[in-house]
Structure 1
């Protein structure tokens, strides 16, 4: 295969590219293809629960080294024709109000998402990659695993390494970080502003950076309050730019992103021309 669903520094790259080179990646939806137009809520119990998020990559960027700042320019994000939204009881910000499972199947065309499950509603295209990031270093892998284990011990919620549904299997599957929470390597930030034209900047942790992306969203509100957006597979075109030594020089340890204009059509979006840290 050409992908993975855990973060680990030893996942081999699927290709090597030069900075500034055009790169096109085909990505899968967050369910890894389990959601289909004929699926109902009765099918949910049979789903593999720990496949998220399937990522295409990693991509090795020539010349990228720890201490550099990697800039990912989103040249285009092209949605597939089918998408879905699912309410999972017990998850999301409104779990106390929405206690029953529900699914909406979407058709995307001509810049809009529509659904027979929600008549009279259409959602404008705001496609972005919900999960994208680079590999952690070995030291970060160990430190973040310990940090999340400590959180669980103190009664918090975390997603420790788990071999179930892991890709790849073996040692990487046993040690790899789950993709559910975002971290310093970016990952599942679900930032709806990372649309076409945006730029994501991440401090490099390992040689080559090792960039991966997946979990495409056609549109999303200010959160995934039901734990999903309009989920989709997508084709993403990117270019990589290197800022040598910039992360080390300015002590940049977390991702940041920017967009030179409105992240979608201005009647649907604000603000204009922002930088987020």
Structure 2
């Protein structure tokens, strides 16, 4: 096993650990540990809510999830010699649930969860159709996930980190806050909000304290969206064997990782759409000096996907176009087209006995493929959702016999939001 440089005690809260991580982005958050180019190491990671979600049959914890706390990240990790303008090479050597434990109170200890978030607490990709909070618990057996809340399916997890990234420079942070603030100002009372401004409440900033903590907490960016530094990209293909190239904006790069997922469908469409878990990740890092300019990688991460993702060969695909539910035409709106494709898949699965919420939770958690299939044929964009047929223990293909009727079991727990 590589050297564990960021340990987490499962019996303690994130803020009570020997080494304290962070849940905001700011260039002045001190590095928690330092490594050298060429080093291989292990990090423990806590699931993004630090244990707030429980393995039970209630969705109250999803409804009341403390959004100001996320994401709890392991880091920052300073890389010796890294300077602004370099590219940080990050190889994912291994990633998995909390090792040596198959049961316990924390997500990752033999189980994980998927949540549809209430509209007042973040919402989801399909928030207008699903405004309330729902939850599904998934049990792990090796690499396979099953759920008492979504029966009749099992699938191999494509385990990956939802969030990895480097720290922003002061100039880049100011750019983030300015542009996101301008967006919020266009509809400041919108629910859910258009963006999340800096929030001092529940900020975790490593070893900072006193006036410096207060200053940074008032400026630091939330970790919810992906940005130029990588961040919360939620790319399900960042599996074992992946190599990522991150822009470096501050001395040391100050790299962080968290938000591990046992599995996820493209888009993480329920917002907490993956199977969330805590666990470990083994990494190797190196540098390309001056790589940002050499390769023109100045405001995005690029990556080479791993080769251990589940391999499904048969699919049932659903298409959607950029026309609203009430028949209004939108011009090449690929976001709307993907929403419509997802809604078509959900509606189809209800014909077999699933509730719409069970189908929605499944699309967030299972390794579905989402694609932009047409973005040039005015006025309609076309998006598609590919659902692997092998994950079901019954045949979901259309036939003259009609759909099989399954027992939906206890269903997905709901908490009105």
TM-score after normalising by structure 2: 0.62
2:101 is equivalent to residue 56 of structure 1: no
Q: Deviations over 1:44-63 (max 9, x none)?
A: 45432211111000111111
- 145-154 or 60-69, which moves further after superposition? 145-154
Give structure 1 stretches of 5+ with no counterpart. 272-277
Residue number in structure 1 paired with 2:183? 151
Q: Deviations over 1:43-102 (max 9, x none)?
A: 445432211111000111111111111111000001232211111132222223323321
Measured in 1, the distance between the counterparts of 2:147 and 2:303 equals 32
Tell me by how many angstroms 1:201 deviates. Answer: 0.8
Cα RMSD of the aligned pairs, angstroms, is 1.9
Measured in 2, the distance between the counterparts of 1:175 and 1:39 equals 38
The one of 55, 69, 83 equivalent to 2:112 is 83
Structure (1/2) with the larger strand percentage? 1
Q: Kindly report structure 1 stretches of 4+ aligned residues shifted beyond 6 Å.
A: 268-271
Residue number in structure 2 paired with 1:6? 24
The one of 209, 219, 228 equivalent to 2:253 is 209
TM-score after normalising by structure 1: 0.91
2:118 is equivalent to residue 100 of structure 1: no
2:91·2:283 contact (CA, 8 Å) conserved in 1?
Answer: yes
2:68 is equivalent to residue 68 of structure 1: no
Residue number in structure 2 paired with 1:26? 44
SS at match of 2:227: coil
1:6·1:179 contact (CA, 8 Å) conserved in 2?
Answer: yes
Mapping 1:127-166, distance limit 5 Å: 127-155=159-187, 157-166=194-203
The one of 281, 292, 301 equivalent to 1:236 is 281
Instruction: Return closer, same or farther for 1:44/1:92 CA change in 2, 3 Å cut-off.
Output: closer
Measured in 2, the distance between the counterparts of 1:42 and 1:75 equals 36
2:111·2:139 contact (CA, 8 Å) conserved in 1?
Answer: yes
Q: Which protein, 1 or 2, shows the higher relative CO under an 8 Å CA cutoff with sep ≥ 6?
A: 1
Report how many residues are paired. Answer: 270
Give structure 2 stretches of 5+ with no counterpart. 1-18, 98-107, 188-192, 206-212, 314-366, 370-417
Measured in 2, the distance between the counterparts of 1:39 and 1:27 equals 25
